[in-house]
Amino acid sequence: MKRGTQLVCLLLCAALLAGCVPAKQTEESVTAPDSSGAAVDFQSSPEPVLTEQALSEIKALGESPDDNYRTWYEIFVYSFCDSDGDGIGDLQGVISKLDYLQNLGITGIWLMPIHPSMSYHKYNVSDYYAIDPDYGTMEDFETLLAECEKRNIRVILDLVVNHTGSDHGWFREAVSYLQALGDGEPDTAQCPYFDYYNFTREAKNGYTQVPGTDWFYESQFSPDMPDLNLDCPLVRQEIDAVMAFWLDKGVAGFRLDAAKEFHSGNADKNIEVLSWLQETAAAHRPDVYLVAEVWDAFSTITTFYQSGITSIFDYPFGDSGGKIITVLRNAGNAGTVSTYATALEKANAAYSGANPNYIDAPFLSNHDVGRIAGFCSGDALKTKLAGAMNLFMSGSVFVYYGEEIGMVGSGNDPSKRAPMYWNADRDSGTTNPPPGCELPDSYPFGSLEEQAGDDTSVYNYYRQAIAIRSAIPAISHGQTTAETNLNKGCVSAFRKSCDLGECIVLMNIDFSPAQVDLTGYEGWTLAAKLSADGNAITLDGAALTLPAFGTAVLVPAA
């Protein structure tokens, strides 16, 4: 992060000895320039305010480098913000919300596919070099990149190379060739596109017949998503050119869709493709950021890290069956809660053992799974702490749009991708629901507009949690180990250590307050307080009091 922006974060978020409280409740407030140079009055902000007492402690922590350890925000453009009134979200709508994202603390954006496609979700790409007309123009995209750069927000694109759309020119050429071929044998010299896909005369599971022929093509997801032959050198040349095109535009990298299905059921070949993608992208941009979707168990993700890929989404901690939700569902059960810190340590050791340069990619929910607030049954305390558990993991953390206001959504895919709930009247930029979307009767915590002025809202909790993450670099960059002396009862405690410093995070995963004895930690100071229920987090001598679902961060005293 740039020094000026980081200083603002330090001023803004000092999760302080005075506590993570609204500015209006403190005796002193601070006005500092934002990234554009304009004045920001923190007295009207729900963020914690700097106190002189804490300044030296926060400054001693150092400064986060401008690297790929970021707080990313996943955007489904279709459902995010409509700028032109046609009911479909667009790139200009995203541009109009960049100040909102910057204020939230977001430093990276993942855009779900933005290329022309026959579907609403656009995962069946018909042209890798264009912008879908529903979303805008190439000029709109270039403007988005320029505006993001002003705010130190990086952008990654969804790169769908497991398959194309069935209306892609490559596939249309191959199909036309086979339909005209008759009983003859294909010749790639006549039609190189035949080798771009996996054609066979054998009917298999996951294959679809080419109309008017005895040929079949692999289509593991859908007949309108023919699988690419990633062993084909020409296909790899095409992918290389696509990555180069968008990296030259200024994108920071790519999210790699369906990486486990490049060669379904063959981990070794999938790992080889990921290695090639990482090396090829890095040849164009050395600091490129790639994050792969490997929707599988802990052991599989660990194995896939052997590819050298930068990041893999941490499914063992996200989604409804992940460690975070499992622990929250058992809140108050010391036997389960105590396993959270040890699970973080185990994952860190395994992933770093497979790839010492890995950057974890934690998330709670995304466009393929039910939303996190639904997993928490609309419980505000659990929803808040789930956010902190995610945001206080190391690596590049991902937040799904609407997660910061506790949106719910489950069932079919469109229902997980409902319009961003900007305001209760659903005007001013709100999109139409995607086809097949079933909106809930109501959202448990209200719209962004309703939450913005409430210091106790899920939204303002997320702002505080992200601010703390930004202010203490060890949270995002540190190697994680369970803090055995403090990881007791329903308090989960873990240490983060790196060359930027270290910290200890303590979370009370219980509906009752907890007392933590900090005897032996006299060299540490309480730097951050994050209260889920509004009750105070206090330190009296060596006695730390954490209210229900409260979080505290300790750092070494300056």
Of residues 541, 539, 18, 536, the one with CA closest to residue 550 = 536
Active-site hit among 47, 57, 257, 314:
257
Residue 145 C-beta-side C-alpha neighbours within 13 Å: 16
d(CA 528, CA 467): 10
d(CA 516, CA 508): 10
Residue 423 C-beta-side C-alpha neighbours within 13 Å: 9
Which secondary structure element, helix H or strand E, spans residue 9, and what is its range?
Answer: helix 3-13
Question: How do beta strands 253-256 and 289-292 pair?
Answer: parallel
Strands laid side by side in the 397-400 sheet: 311-312, 289-292, 253-256, 154-159, 108-111, 71-75, 397-400
For residue 312, CA distances in Å to 303, 398, 400 come to: 11, 11, 16
For residue 307, CA distances in Å to 128, 287, 338, 360, 393 come to: 25, 17, 32, 14, 22
d(CA 32, CA 41): 7
227 contacts 201 by C-beta, under 8 angstroms? no
Q: Is residue 257 annotated as part of the catalytic site, yes or no? A: yes
E strands of 117-235, at which residues?
154-159, 199-200, 207-209, 216-218
Which tokens hold the place of 491?
């308090």
Q: What phi and psi values does residue 493 have, to the nearest 5 degrees?
A: -130, 135
* All residues at 6 or more sequence positions from 211 whose CB lies less than 8 Å from its CB, including other chains: 175, 179
Which tokens hold the place of 233?
């050198």
303 contacts 354 by C-beta, under 8 angstroms? yes
Q: Is residue 34 annotated as part of the catalytic site, yes or no? A: no
* All residues at 6 or more sequence positions from 408 whose CB lies less than 8 Å from its CB, including other chains: 370, 371, 373, 374, 378, 440, 443, 444
Largest CA-CA distance found in the chain, in angstroms, rounded:
86
Q: Report the DSSP beta bridge partners of residue 109.
A: 73, 155
d(CA 537, CA 116): 51
371 contacts 411 by C-beta, under 8 angstroms? no
d(CA 132, CA 538): 53
409 contacts 415 by C-beta, under 8 angstroms? yes
Active-site hit among 293, 403, 404, 502:
293
Question: How do beta strands 514-517 and 479-482 pair?
Answer: unpaired
**Could you list the active site residues?**
257, 293
